[in-house]
Structure 1
Amino acid sequence: MTFIEYFYYFIHCRVYLASERHDADKEALAKHLLTHIKFCPTIPSLRDGKNDELFIIANGPSLQNDIGGYEDLIASKDVLMMNNAIQTPLFAKLQPKYYVLMDSMYFVGNAYRDLVEDDFHKMRLVFEKTLDMLSALRNNLILLVPSVWKHTLTFSNPYMRVYTYNVFGFRGFEWLEKIVYKNTLSIPSNACVLVPAIVSAIAMGYKRIYLLGCDQNAFLGYCVDNTTNKLSIRDYKHFYKEAKENTHARYESMDMGERLYHDHLIFGAYSQLQKLFGSEYRIFNCSSSSMIDAFPRASLDSVLGGGVNRYLLISFLLLSLYISCTFTKDSKFAHGGVR
């Protein structure tokens, strides 16, 4: 690694560590980053002038109602899914082209003490099942992961290609941000997997990006236990059914101020992406219930032309055409056949 690369990552490690971790974890994480870092992420190599539309499917509860009747149409498009979506029937229906992971728990478990140990052990089986299903997948898939943790993926799947992005949060001059984000050298925030999903879509050259299941309202469930004085999230649900104990998470090393600051970074990242790329890349929020106000809204009906209603219309037209042709044929034979 050259001096310039060390300097680059020294700056970005400082940004990442200052915003995401406690003092007790910073030294260990910094050593890990410098040991396993890769300067050039590989997602930009997927850039293609033919890339047009991409549907980013997040896991918010609104997805369950929003996508009904549109599955077949969306499945015919390029689709990106994330986190534990592979465990749902919707994954098999949509057959996504891309899949993105970012949470360190998929790669190094609870090494950074994000969650109380009891809560992590409840969730560990969910994380492990996702990795096991990715390992056993028999459909082509492009997996997008942070470069710093790619080496922890122990499975080898001939149907899967793994590409990387840099997970470090960065904010600076806008002209520099645009270059950095477009090449996934950094992202505006590493506090939510939707951010690298959008950045990756831009880096791959997709001109129209549609967001679904992006409720982004977990902050409505923030609470502090009056006995332990610890922060937790209640009723943190997804579109799929999950065990009740998995909808409540207690944080080990994060207080309310830090959690709200992370939310500030997340929503600020969306606004910055829209500001930097909104004129070149059209990003639409198609979620019926969402706290994200940075991107213009659009309905799936307007994007896809009617969804299930479109199929009903086509069926009706074909039926009408069949009846018309049958009636015309019978009428000709009734008058002595075709001349």
Structure 2
Amino acid sequence: MVNFLLSVQQSINLVINSIISVFKVLLMSKFSVERTTASKPRCGILGNGPSLNTSLERDIEFIKSLELFAVNLFSVTEQYTQLKPRNYFILDMSFLNPNHVCKNGLQHMASDTTWEMNLYMPFQMYNSAYFQSFFKDTPNIKLVPYNYTIVTGFTWLKHWFFKRGLGTPQCQNVLVGTLFYAVNMGFKEIYIFGADHSWHEMIRLDDDNNLVVSDKHFFQQKDFDIAVKEKSYMSQQLFSLHKAFYGYEVVGQYAQALGVKIYNASARSFIDVFEKIKVNEFVNKN
């Protein structure tokens, strides 16, 4: 009886979430979405986790053979002008904050990009005069806005919206959104690097019972701490991590439905949705 009631409740939730998603798309999404296509059958996504340093040393030739995606603040690194990624994906609305470090990332993109590159951002960001001001004199950078409208509900409905760029999975982390966009671009194989996702190891309470989160990227020499100033409980932090990892499950199911293979080639990673590979062994085997 309990299982039956749970099944009924799940079915009702699916119907409700599907109806809500339809209204969200109708009210929030742009229906004239520009689509870009893959120039190669394989791409690589460069996360900013510390393990990317290992991948850039160990797997650099393989990485260079892929059509590359960079994310977030990759543009502030020396590797940006060395690897010249064809694609750059951002999602965080901090890129609209003139007092945030993200401003530095935009400035580097605008000044350092001497090759043709597609820059993907949500429509909300694209429509910002502040954001646009960085790229008014950058002929090498093509701005490609996308809908960030989270849809849930029946799988067939979600995938219908996904394919048309009208809806997306929840992207608690920018790599989820990048993976999703890469799948829609038509790549057959996608390789992820630098996706450590070891945040749970860096959450702690200080002596005054304040929640503190350490953060580190591949281009930083040491960790730095972020004090969560507003009232926050450990459960909320862990729920955020759940949403981040669950996003990979949704993208993984969508990629599988389209016959797209996603490989996690990160030297260190807690993502367990995709096949984990070591590049040298994988290349020799294939």
Does TM, scored on the shorter chain, surpass 0.5? yes
Q: Which has the higher strand share?
A: 2
Query: Contact 2:24–2:149 at 8 Å: present in 1 too?
Result: no
Match of 2:225 in 1: 248
Structure 2 letter corresponding to 1:47: T
Larger radius of gyration: 1
Mark the CA change 1:226 to 1:260 in structure 2 (over 3 Å): closer, same or farther.
same
- Contact map agreement 2:120 2:143 (CA 8 A) in 1: yes
Cα 1:263–1:130 shift into 2, 3 Å: same
Give the alignment of 1:225-264 within 5 angstroms: 225-227=206-208, 229-234=209-214, 236-242=215-221, 247-253=224-230, 254-264=232-242
Q: Secondary structure at the match of 2:276?
A: coil
Distance in structure 2 (CA, Å) of the matches to 1:289 and 1:69? 13
Confirm or deny: 8 A CA contact 1:217 1:291 kept in the other structure. Answer: yes
How far is 1:98 from its partner? Answer: 0.3
- The one-letter code matched in structure 1 to 2:177 is P
Normalised by the length of structure 2, the TM-score is: 0.81
Aligned with 1:132 (options 107, 110, 113): 107
Picking from 92, 111, 118, the partner of 1:103 is: 92
Which residue of 2 is the match for residue 75 of structure 1? 64
Q: Alpha carbon RMSD of aligned pairs, Å?
A: 2.6
After superposition, the Cα gap between the structure-2 partners of 1:297 and 1:8, relative to the gap in structure 1 and judged at 3 Å, is closer
Q: Secondary structure at the match of 2:106?
A: helix
Q: Against the structure 1 CA distance between its residues 230 and 149, is the aligned structure 2 distance closer, same or farther, given a 3 Å change threshold?
A: farther
Paired residue type of 1:11: K
Structure 2 residue corresponding to 1:177, chosen from 136, 155, 158: 158
Establish whether residue 220 from structure 1 lines up as the match of residue 201 from structure 2: yes
Say if 2:187 is the partner of 1:209: no
User: Is the 1:46–1:204 contact (alpha carbons within 8 Å) kept by the matching residues of 2?
Assistant: yes
Contact 1:72–1:94, Cα closer than 8 Å, also in 2: no
Match of 1:324 in 2: none
Q: Could you tell me whether the CA contact under 8 Å between 1:206 and 1:281 is conserved in 2?
A: yes
* 2:247 aligns with one of 260, 263, 269: 269
SS for the counterpart of 1:68 is helix
Measured in 1, the distance between the counterparts of 2:275 and 2:245 equals 14
Could you give the per-residue CA deviations for residues 266-285 of structure 1, whole angstroms, max 9, x where no partner exists? 11111122223225100000
Check conservation: 1:182, 1:202, Cα contact below 8 A.
no
* Structure 2: runs of 5+ lacking an equivalent: 1-19
- In structure 2, the partner of 1:334 is none
Between stretches 195-204 and 158-167, larger displacement belongs to: 158-167
**Equivalent residue, structure 2, for 1:320:** none
1:25-70, Cα deviation, whole Å (9 max, x unpaired)? xxxxxxxxx8xx6513635x2135x641010110111111122143
TM-score, length-normalised on structure 1?
0.69
Letter in 2 for 1:293: D
The yes-or-no answer on 1:53 pairing with 2:42 is yes
Q: Is the 8 A contact 1:209 1:283 kept in 2?
A: yes
> Among the aligned pairs, what percent are the same residue?
23
